Structures are given as C-alpha cells and as structure tokens.
Amino acid sequence: MTLRDHTDALGDTSLTADVIIVGSGPGGASVARVLAEGGVKVLMLEEGPARPKFRPNFANAQRYHMQENGAIVAQGLGSFVPVAAGRGVGGGTLVNSAMCWRTPDYVLEKWTKLLGVDHFSPTAMGPIFDEIEEIIQVVDTPEAIAGENNKLIVRGATKLGLETGFIRRNTPTCVGCCMCMMGCPSGGKASVDRNLVPMAREHGTVVQGDVKVEGILVEDDRVVGVRGTVYHPDTREVVGHLEARAHAVILSAGAIGTPRLLALDGLASRLGPAVGTGLHLHPGSAVVGICEHEVNMWRGATQAAYFKDKALPGVLPHTIASEPGHILMIFNKVGHEAKALMPKLPYMCGIGVMISDKSQGTVGARSDGRSKVTYHWDEGDVERLKAGMVRSAEVLMAGGAVEIASPVGGMGTYTDLDRYAADLATRPIRDFGLYSAHPMATCRMGTDPATSVIDPYGKAHAIDGLYIADASVFPTSLGVNPQLTTMAIATALARQMLAKGLPEAAPIR
C-alpha cells in the first residue's frame, strides 16, 4: 500500500525510508518523482487528506485543502494580506487556477549570478520546463472554454495595443466550469496528485496523508527523521502519533509551512538568521468592471487571460473569477448592500493586479502552532499596484465595461477613469482589499549562511541531512505564478542531490 490515510496510522506508528519528504505539493511531488526513479526509498508525509475532498464551495476548500483553514494573514503597516497556502496530497495544485508560467529568463540569469552555479540558467532549465510541461499536460487555453470574462480582457488589451493572450495552463480536459480554486470536479486539471505523485508511487514511494509533522529528529548534529500527529481529516481528532526515520529529510511544506515548522521545532536558530525572512507575496488587488451585457465571470476558465504593459515592469494583471458569494465577500457587502449588488453580479468582469514585490516580510510561529506572518510595504510597490489597477480599469473599459469598481475603502463605482485614478491615488494601502497566493523566498538558496538557509544544491548550511525544495528557496521574488517554477527548481535540486549523493548513515534504528 503506497497511499495511506489516517486509518493506516492509528495509535503509534513507526516508518523508515532512505529519504523523508515533508509535503506533497509541487515541490515535494517533483523531488519524490526524481528520487524514486533514481532508486531512493522515499516516504512522503502530508498534513492534508490523502485523497481530495472537493465540494463546489470555497468554505470546503478552506477546510480541507488550505493551510490553517485559509486564515493565514500577513500583518504590516495597518494592512492584513490574506495568504493562501495549499494542503492535501497535491498541495496547492489542488486548489490553484492552473496557470503555468515559466520563470522569466532575466530572473534565472539573476539567480545564476547570485548562486554562482549554472544548473538554474535558462539553458539548463529549458529542458526541465519542457519535461514538466509534458508531464502535467500544459496546454494553451482554448478560446471555446475561455468564457466572456477572459475574452473581454484580451479584447480590451488588444484594442489598447498591449501584449495579451490566453494563458497556458495544466488543464488538458478543462470544461470551463470555473471551479479550479475549489478543486477541479471534472478531472480536467492535471494537479500533481494525478501525475508526479503517481509516478513516484510507481517506483515505491509511500505517501502518508493526514499527518502533521511537528518536529524534526536530530542526533549527533544531523537530521535522522521526523515526528508528527495523525488527525482524522473531518473531525480533526487526534488518532495517532507517527515517528519516521531516514538518512535525510527534505522539507517541501511551502514558503509558509517550511519556516513555520523550523520555528516550532527550534531549529530555526541553529540554521541561522535567514530562516523565515525575506518573504515575498506577489500581493495584489482587484479591478471589477460592470458591463451592459452578461459576463457571468463564474463561467469559463478560471484565470486564463493576461496583459502586460512595458511601462509597468513587474506588474502582471490577469483574470479574476469568483462565484457570487465570493464577490460579495471581496467587496465586504452584507445585508441590504449585498441585496442591492446582486442584480449586477452577472454583468461583472474582473482583473487581479499582481506585482513582483520589493516589499518583504517574515514567517515564524505562534505559541498555538499557527503561522506568525508580517509584511512591510515598499512605497514603490504601492505605487506600482495603483498604476496597474488604473491600467486594468482602462483595459476593462476598452473591452466592454461601462463602470469600474475596486475593493478599496472610500471608493465607489466610476464611469470616469480619470476620477477613478485620482481617487485611487489618495487611498493608503491599509484601505485596499488585498490577497496573495504566492508566498516564496523564506528559506532562500545562497552561498552565505548569514543571508540564506540552503546551498545551491538544496542542502542546509548548518545541519547535515536536512534539505529544502519548495518555493521558500527562491532567492528573489519571481514575478509570475510560481507552480511551474517550483516544480522545475525542485526537479533540478533533486537531480543535484542524486548527483552529489544523499547522505548515508548507520542503519536506521
């Protein structure tokens, strides 16, 4: 049995492997596939359910497939940024919108220079991107299932002479039901539980779901395993305790989960001052258009259109799509205000404005085990976000919207773009409805232990037997949606681990 749930780990359970991977999302699944195919005995531990528990509502996704029930927030300068982080076998790929952007060449070139190695260069990474895209079945979004919400953006951006188009996504049989972020009900999304994880299992990898790793075992100054608590996925009742031992442990719990675990376990201080620092979020806000024709943004591919403006480097606007209840939540409407807005919902279209942030934050742990996240805004980021929102409003109006609104306190609905821009310019960042689904860079790769946690080969600077492979290792902000980069970087790191030889020790006790 290679896929285990809580019923397979009742009471006290002991497991052994050559390598333990904590987390089964894009990073963990990619590493597991490479190592298992290389003959390594892999045990993958996952906090969330072993099998998807999808329902067509966002609350269910928060309960089963988001870390801390989707309630992680980054606090700073008066603003709270909700931060999404996935869980379950498949991790964030279960509940993301499936966009597959390759790492921009200029980012890879910067990382190559910072790290002093060539295995992350555009030339080296190109074949890996080709390989991963084939495995997870990345395809161009067909116009037939794009929906009016996406088509309107492409139409408006084209009219303004901007780079635009439909986004490549790992959705080979998408039916356009717009439920990606609640878990694909049709099987049209090729999340990693459908490809990389089964490939690892075919080569002997054991996957244990429903176990929250809470400690890392260290003996004689080297990592020898982990310990965790087994939970019933529905009731959250503790049903067991698990100890697993191995020659090496690879943390792939994400840019929130990995530093949180290190902080809870007390290893953060041993690994140096860089653990949990340098958090980037790709924070963003929204611009909504109201049209005279029906759009029904909840029909069609979830997020499948983008545009770029050369005058706005580091700004990546793309479609937002939400079901009616979520739209009301975004705009903080209840009661009579919600009732008044509801007739307009079918006529709404939307763009999310994401920035590649210079702003940074931290991730630690609270006494109750939850994440402690802070984020401090760079004023230039605030101005770029506002500029991106103004440009997005212009795109929506050019595409067919007649009114514009944003979830910003003190602002209403606009037919005059100049007035929208002027009012937006006066609003402080604390008034903005903000969101992030791209935490990264909290356990960075680097050569200096004072500013990084792992070396360019995935190994922790300060503790033998410990490795990291997830979005936390990015040396800088990425600038595009990170799932494909996470898979490709984790694949490259796993191959470096095999080439250099994972540590071996005395027989596992």
Are residue 98 and residue 158 in the same domain, yes or no? no
Domain for residue 407, yes or no?
yes
Are residue 369 and residue 299 in the same domain, yes or no? yes
pTM above 0.85, yes or no: yes
Give, for all 509 residues of the chain, the pLDDT tens digit: 699 999 999 999 999 999 999 999 999 999 999 999 999 999 999 999 999 999 988 899 999 999 999 999 999 877 778 999 999 999 999 999 999 999 999 999 999 999 999 999 999 999 999 999 999 999 999 999 999 999 999 999 999 999 999 999 999 999 999 999 999 999 999 999 999 999 999 999 999 999 999 999 999 999 999 999 999 999 999 999 999 999 999 999 999 999 999 999 999 999 999 999 999 999 999 999 999 999 999 999 999 999 999 999 999 999 999 778 777 777 777 788 778 888 999 999 999 999 999 999 999 999 999 999 999 999 999 999 999 999 999 999 999 999 999 999 999 999 999 999 999 999 999 999 999 999 999 999 999 999 999 999 999 999 999 999 999 999 999 999 999 999 999 999 999 999 988 876 444 44
Q: Please say whether the beta carbons of 82 and 435 come within 8 A.
A: yes
Are residue 100 and residue 160 in the same domain, yes or no? no
CA distance 461 to 472: 15
Residue 457 pLDDT: 97
332: burial class by Cβ within 10 Å (0-12, 13-18, 19+)? exposed
Residue 508 pLDDT: 47
Are residue 274 and residue 299 in the same domain, yes or no? no
Helix orientation angle between 483-500 and 122-135, rounded to the nearest 10 degrees? 110
Helix orientation angle between 122-135 and 105-115, rounded to the nearest 10 degrees? 120
Are residue 163 and residue 150 in the same domain, yes or no? yes
Q: Please say whether the beta carbons of 495 and 34 come within 8 A.
A: yes
Are residue 94 and residue 222 in the same domain, yes or no? yes
Are residue 392 and residue 308 in the same domain, yes or no? yes
Cα atoms found within 13 Å of the Cα of residue 441, Cβ hemisphere only: 22
Are residue 120 and residue 237 in the same domain, yes or no? yes
Residue 322 pLDDT: 79
Torsion angle defined by CA atoms of residues 268, 483, 374 and 319, in that order, rounded to the nearest 10 degrees:
180
Q: Please say whether the beta carbons of 274 and 444 come within 8 A.
A: yes
Domain that holds residue 209: 3-68+85-137+184-278+441-500
For residue 20, the domain's CATH number is 3.50.50.60
Angle 15-17-22 from CA coordinates, rounded to 5°: 85
User: Which residues lie below 8 Å from residue 159, measured CB to CB, with a gap of 6+?
Assistant: 398, 399
Query: At which of 383, 404, 431 does a domain end?
Result: 431
Residue 230 pLDDT: 98
Residue 507 pLDDT: 44
Are residue 394 and residue 480 in the same domain, yes or no? no
For residue 310, the domain's CATH number is 3.30.560.10
Query: At which of 431, 463, 491 does a domain end?
Result: 431
Are residue 338 and residue 265 in the same domain, yes or no? no
Identify the DSSP state of 188: -
Domain for residue 387, yes or no?
yes
Q: How many domains does the chain have?
A: 2
CA distance 195 to 91: 13
Domain for residue 509, yes or no?
no
Are residue 346 and residue 414 in the same domain, yes or no? yes
Q: If we measure between CA atoms, which residue out of 347, 239, 396, 305 comes closest to residue 99?
A: 305
Are residue 57 and residue 201 in the same domain, yes or no? yes
